[in-house]
């Protein structure tokens, strides 16, 4: 597999997709064109999303072709040199991908070694399910099942703090609820500015911040870039 799973598209105060572009460029080295899945967009059009990503990918000389323009989106995925899935609302993304048969089509391409890049919701859908997204279920997908390219769950944009004056659950408490109900599954809290790279050399964390690991029966713990993550595979 050749996966780049990014927590967030944009760091605070920076331009869209600015911080991960060096890693995306390296990951997609030699690629001329990517099939882009824009279906996490809700408050703006798929065409706008395609243009937004294209503007950044112009810097690395890669054409972006959105699957929403294809008469046969599955066929586009089958022929793609690489696949990119953008962030937004994970439920909207999953519903449209399931309707078009893109989950299984993308998994087959991933297994063939085709590079995959996802950020935020695009990272969520690479997991077994979308159950550890932060998003509101604004639409109802066929199921919570996702691509399943990795065996663990990702919680992107992972936050440690609870805002002052807020009496609700923390992100950690929500994930602890998930592992109570899903005892065989690891969840990784991927903080902003960080990403996971999975290729022939294994799984590794990229970024200056640690990643928080959750598993039923184990006290949550932190891993850093360079640490062995083989237990997740």
Distance CA 210, CA 231 (A): 16
Which position among 66, 68, 123, 135 bears the catalytic label? 135
pLDDT tens digit string along 111-160? Answer: 999 999 999 999 999 999 999 999 999 999 999 999 999 999 999 999 98
- DSSP codes, 197-233: EEETTEEEEESSS-EEEEETTEEEEEE-TTS--GGG-
At which residue do the structure tokens 């696949």 appear? 83
At 199, list the tokens: 């290729």
For residues 42-51, give the mean pLDDT. Answer: 98
Q: How far out from the chain centre does Cα 94 lie?
A: 12
Q: Is 104 exposed, middle or buried (0-12, 13-18, 19+ CB in 10 A)?
A: middle
Instruction: Give the pLDDT score at 204.
Output: 97
What contacts 178, CB < 8 A, 6 or more positions away?
Answer: 131, 132, 153, 185, 187, 214
Q: Which of 25, 120, 199, 228 is catalytic?
A: 120
Does 135 qualify as catalytic in the annotation?
Answer: yes
Mean pLDDT over each residue of the chain, to the nearest integer: 96
Q: pLDDT tens digit string along 162-199?
A: 777 777 788 999 999 999 999 999 999 999 999 999 99
Give pTM, 2 decimals.
Answer: 0.96
Indicate which residue of 25, 104, 157, 199 is catalytic.
157
Per-position b or e across 176-200, b if 16+ CB within 10 A of its CB: eebbeebeebbbbbbbbbbbbbbee
SS3 content of the chain, % helix, strand, coil (to 5): 30, 20, 50
How sure is the predictor about 6, in pLDDT bands with cuts at 50, 70 and 90? Answer: very high
What's the pLDDT score for residue 168? 74
Fold of the CATH domain 3-232: Rossmann fold (3.40.50)
* pLDDT tens readout for residues 82-92: 999 999 999 99
Average pLDDT over residues 198-221: 96
Inform me whether the pLDDT recorded for 49 exceeds 90. yes
Confidence of residue 62 (pLDDT cuts 50, 70, 90): very high
Indicate if the alpha-carbon torsion angle 121, 123, 126, 130 is positive or negative. negative
């Amino acid at each position: 597999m050749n996966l780049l799973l990014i927590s967030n598209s944009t760091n605070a105060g920076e331009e869209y997709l600015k911080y991960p572009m060096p890693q995306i460029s390296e990951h997609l080295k030699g690629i001329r064109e990517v099939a882009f899945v824009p279906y996490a967009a809700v408050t703006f059009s798929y065409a706008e999303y395609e243009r937004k990503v294209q503007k950044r990918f112009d810097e690395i000389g890669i054409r972006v072709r959105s699957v929403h323009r294809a008469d046969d989106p599955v066929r586009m995925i089958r022929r793609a040199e690489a696949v990119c899935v953008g962030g937004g609302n994970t439920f909207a993304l999953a519903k449209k991908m399931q309707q078009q048969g893109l989950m299984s089509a993308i998994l087959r391409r991933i297994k063939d070694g085709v590079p995959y890049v996802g950020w935020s919701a695009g990272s969520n859908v690479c997991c077994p399910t979308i159950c550890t997204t932060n998003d509101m279920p604004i639409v109802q997908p066929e199921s919570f099942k996702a691509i399943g390219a990795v065996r663990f769950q990702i919680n992107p944009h992972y936050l440690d703090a609870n805002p002052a004056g807020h009496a609700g659950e923390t992100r950690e408490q929500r994930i602890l609820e998930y592992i109570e109900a899903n005892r065989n599954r690891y969840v990784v809290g991927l903080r902003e500015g960080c990403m996971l790279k999975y290729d022939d050399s294994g799984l590794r964390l990229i970024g200056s911040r640690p990643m928080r690991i959750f598993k039923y029966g184990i006290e949550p713990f932190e891993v850093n870039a360079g640490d062995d993550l083989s237990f997740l595979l």
